[in-house]
């Protein structure tokens, strides 16, 4: 009797279809419903509104602004005139030396996967284009250097970056860094 039971259970051809059927049922039961909200910062208010009987509509994800889609005037709007003038002779190779001399590379990296105490410079030109509504990318970068605590990138602490770069760096050095960071894009 025991041998007959082992023979029946050891037939892989009879177990395989059953296992396959169970896997399909398991996968189908785990597939997400595209109409249900997922974990997000807005999930709490969405669920509360639903419970209150309100209609909840999802807003489309905004299309990111890329530097290439902006005119030259839009890229440099709001920059101080002396920086605009210095940008005419900006040198991105010199900017790399400036970044080393002032210790910028100790907190910022071009590698998006390297977590540092300052935000990444990876694709900074495109990031700056949409970081602060109403600010041009060049103005955002310049302002972030000379007044680093005025706008903090989410997830980063204030008071880490020296607030006196506007006085310590020359106009040309600032222009070099702004030009260099604007070149970092997709």
Q: Are residue 87 and residue 174 in the same domain, yes or no?
A: yes
For 96-130, the pLDDT digits (tens) are 999 999 999 999 999 999 999 999 999 999 999 99
pTM above 0.75, yes or no: no
Q: Across residues 150-177, what is the average pLDDT?
A: 96
Whether 59 is covered by a domain: the verdict is: no
- Same domain (yes/no): 85, 141: yes
Domain that holds residue 126: 67-183
Q: Is residue 16 domain-shared with residue 88, that is, in the same domain?
A: no
For residue 100, give the nearest of 151, 173, 153, 175 by alpha carbon: 173
Assigned domain for 169 exists: yes
Tokens of 13: 């051809």
Q: Once rounded to an integer, what is the mean pLDDT over residues 48-75?
A: 86
Query: What value does the mean pLDDT take over residues 131-157?
Result: 95
Say how many domains are in the chain: 2
Residue 48 lies in a domain: no
Looking at residue 23, what is its pLDDT?
Answer: 82
């Amino acid at each position: 009797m025991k041998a007959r039971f082992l023979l029946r259970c050891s037939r892989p051809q009879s177990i395989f279809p059953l296992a396959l059927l169970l896997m399909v049922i398991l996968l189908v039961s785990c597939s997400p419903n595209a109409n249900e909200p997922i974990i997000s910062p807005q999930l709490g208010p969405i669920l509360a509104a639903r419970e209150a009987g309100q209609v909840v509509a999802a807003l489309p994800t905004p299309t990111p602004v890329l530097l290439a889609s902006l005119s030259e005037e839009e890229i440099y709007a709001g920059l101080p005139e002396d920086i605009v003038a210095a940008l005419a002779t900006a040198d991105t190779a010199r900017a790399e030396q400036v970044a080393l001399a002032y210790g910028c590379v100790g907190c910022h990296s071009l590698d998006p996967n390297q977590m540092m105490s300052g935000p990444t410079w990876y694709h900074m030109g495109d990031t700056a284009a949409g970081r602060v509504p109403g600010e041009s990318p060049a103005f955002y970068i310049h302002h972030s250097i000379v007044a680093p605590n005025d706008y903090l990138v989410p997830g980063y602490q204030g008071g880490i970056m020296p607030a006196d770069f506007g006085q310590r760096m020359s106009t040309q050095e600032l222009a070099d860094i702004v030009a260099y960071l604007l070149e970092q894009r997709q």
